[in-house]
Amino acid sequence: MNANVKLGLKQRYSLLTRGLDWETTYQPKEKIFPYAEFEGIKIHDWSKWEDPFRLTMESYWKYQAEKERKLYAVLDSFAQNNGQLGISEARYVNALKLFLTGISPCEYQAHRGFNHVGRHLPGVGPRVAAQMQSLDELRHAQTQIHTLSHYNKFFDGFHEFTHMHDRVWYLSVPKSFFEDARTAGPFEYFIAIGFAFEYVLTNLLFVPFMSGAAYNGDLATVTFGFSAQSDESRHMTLGIEVIKFLLEQDPDNLPIVQKWVDKWFWRGHRVLGLVAMMMDYMLPKKIMSWREAWEIYFTEAGGSLFGDLARYGLKVPKYADIASAEADHISHQNWCTFYQYSQAAGFHTQLPTAEEMDWLSEKYPTTFDKYYRPRYEMWAQMEKDGKRFYNNALPQLCNVCQIPMVYTENTDPSAVSGRVSEYKGDKYHFCSDGCKDIFDDEPEKYSQAWLPVHQIFQGNCGGPELEDVLKWYRLNIGADNLDQAGSPDQKMWDQWMADRAGVGG
């Protein structure tokens, strides 16, 4: 009898990776996996976990090594060739400063988070998937830092990214997002990051930054981005497998999972407001508007996704309609905030040009000219009068998303949106129903949040004056902050362009 039967990929993978786990006998299972039960998630059969990408460790190392070789070759070449001279305009680099201080430390947080759940889930399939993702996220942190280190040689605002991430007011927005997830149980973490962030919302983070890089001559970031995105595809399949697995294991999991999907969609939407602002205001050459990106990657793609998951009883996230309506406002509201607080930020801002305002009018026909153009025109006049506006008051922050309370009611864009809860005798303030719901579900957790503005007022951030706080941030005053016009970055760039125009020597 001929026994030379070739096994298919699924079978080979199963034989190579299953049966390596064991039932514990020296210690009870609850002691080895102490976080597996408290969230109320019921798992009856861990073997039902299906690895969507059947990558053995051998294949993983092979493909990752190949990606690294290609990426670092491009980064070396970019550095040798002074690739930074090829960007569209100097001010593009501010998008990269926001990325390195805001996103890269979160990649490291994701690395730690997946490392943790990779230990604490009782099922061997998801443990391995989480461990691979943990390695990927560390890779992303490293490759982002490496890519952007070249810009650090020339431009301000990159030099203290980890220190700033832990302290600066706007960076607490992405930081608290990840800390919220990491301090949750393993199942919530998996839904928060694996599903909501890495599946539902990931394209809204990466496509704007990476396409923005491509449109603005930033070869280094483009190459990093595409290299990382190939890892992201694996992360996306992990996210969708997590949610299907939990929903298939027990119908009692549905309301818990729904609550997490609602929460993390909303927290993700709030963090992505920074990306919205980047797309609409910080790219000299624009790819598309935030509104357009939202249509493609949430309304359409999310529509297909939630249509597929409806068979489990899962609904489209709560407040998705509010988030979609906000897509016409959020980028403008955020940019108006950063414009006026530029003295306290680690990157430069500037007013949109006349051409940019016409583009914004076209992309936002119902909101830009009515609510936002007048503000920019007023500030432009103030600049002409030599009184470029900087707001010297500290804003109230939302207790959950930690963003200044600048958002407006869905029904009335001239009314600030604010909600309040009371807990143990104190009042807590929120920008929206979405954030208030999150607080009300776990007030003990969110009442402990480290809020930058509160901390400044409590005297924990270096001193009572703005200058004290900026020094505590390790922000280089007069270099990292203030308007793009007159910045050392701009002066350096203008000199490069003048040099390029000359004969040389």
Partner 1 sequence: MPRIVSITLQNTDDARPIIAAITEDNPGLVIHSYPGIVKIDREGSLTVKRSSVEERLGRDWDPQEIHLSIVSMAGNLDEEDDYFNLSWA
Residues that bind partner 1 (CB under 8 A): 8-10, 52-55, 59, 63, 66-67, 70, 202-203, 206-207, 210-211, 214-215, 222, 226, 229-230, 232-234, 236-237, 240, 287, 300-301, 303-305, 307-308, 311
The region that residue 235 occupies, defined by phi over 0 for left and psi between -120 and 50 for alpha, beta otherwise, is alpha
**Minimum distance between the CB of residue 419 and partner 1, rounded to whole angstroms?**
32
Q: Which is nearer to partner 1, 10 or 48 (CB)?
A: 10
User: Which residues are registered as beta bridge partners of 94?
Assistant: none
CB contact burial 247-274 (16+ within 10 A = b; e otherwise): bebeeebeebbbbbbbbbbbbbbbbbbb
**Minimum distance between the CB of residue 249 and partner 1, rounded to whole angstroms?**
17
| Angle between helical axes of 219-249 and 202-215 (0-180°, round to 10) | 170
Token pair 């997946």 is found at: 114
**Minimum distance between the CB of residue 158 and partner 1, rounded to whole angstroms?**
24
CA distances to 170, 349, 357, 373, 504 from 482, in Å: 15, 7, 21, 21, 32
Q: Which is nearer to partner 1, 17 or 455 (CB)?
A: 17
**Minimum distance between the CB of residue 65 and partner 1, rounded to whole angstroms?**
11
Q: Which is nearer to partner 1, 308 or 441 (CB)?
A: 308
Helix (H, G, I), strand (E, B) or coil at 313: coil
**Minimum distance between the CB of residue 393 and partner 1, rounded to whole angstroms?**
41
Q: Is 22 exposed, middle or buried (0-12, 13-18, 19+ CB in 10 A)?
A: exposed
Token pair 């050392």 is found at: 488
The region that residue 462 occupies, defined by phi over 0 for left and psi between -120 and 50 for alpha, beta otherwise, is left
What is d(CA 40, CA 46) in angstroms, rounded to the nearest whole number? 16
Q: For residue 164, give the H/E element and its range.
A: helix 161-165
What is d(CA 394, CA 315) in angstroms, rounded to the nearest whole number? 38
**Minimum distance between the CB of residue 213 and partner 1, rounded to whole angstroms?**
9
Tokens of 421: 């809860």
CA distances to 266, 281, 351 from 355, in Å: 33, 12, 11
Q: Which is nearer to partner 1, 307 or 459 (CB)?
A: 307
φ, ψ (nearest 5 deg) of residue 319: 70, 15
Q: Which is nearer to partner 1, 56 or 495 (CB)?
A: 56
**Minimum distance between the CB of residue 301 and partner 1, rounded to whole angstroms?**
5
For residue 71, the number of C-alpha atoms closer than 13 Å in the C-beta half-sphere is 24
Q: For residue 419, give the H/E element and its range.
A: strand 419-423
Q: Which is nearer to partner 1, 55 or 275 (CB)?
A: 55
Q: Which is nearer to partner 1, 110 or 184 (CB)?
A: 110
Assess contact for 451 and 404: CB atoms under 8 A.
no
CA-based end-to-end distance of the chain: 81
Q: Which is nearer to partner 1, 9 or 498 (CB)?
A: 9
Largest CA distance in the chain: 93
Give the DSSP per-residue string, 113-135. Answer: HHHHHHHH-S-HHHHHHHHHHHH
**Minimum distance between the CB of residue 226 and partner 1, rounded to whole angstroms?**
5
What DSSP state is assigned to residue 404?
B
**Minimum distance between the CB of residue 131 and partner 1, rounded to whole angstroms?**
17
Number of H helices, E strands in the chain: 23, 4
**Minimum distance between the CB of residue 76 and partner 1, rounded to whole angstroms?**
18
Q: Which is nearer to partner 1, 210 or 360 (CB)?
A: 210
What is d(CA 490, CA 497) in angstroms, rounded to the nearest whole number? 10
Q: Which is nearer to partner 1, 187 or 224 (CB)?
A: 224
Q: Which is nearer to partner 1, 67 or 471 (CB)?
A: 67
Q: Which is nearer to partner 1, 70 or 387 (CB)?
A: 70
**Minimum distance between the CB of residue 163 and partner 1, rounded to whole angstroms?**
32
Q: Which is nearer to partner 1, 214 or 492 (CB)?
A: 214
What is d(CA 127, CA 133) in angstroms, rounded to the nearest whole number? 10
φ, ψ (nearest 5 deg) of residue 434: -55, -50
**Minimum distance between the CB of residue 37 and partner 1, rounded to whole angstroms?**
29
**Minimum distance between the CB of residue 198 and partner 1, rounded to whole angstroms?**
11
**The CA-based dihedral angle spanning residues 114, 40, 253, 250, taken in that order and rounded to the nearest 10 degrees:** 100
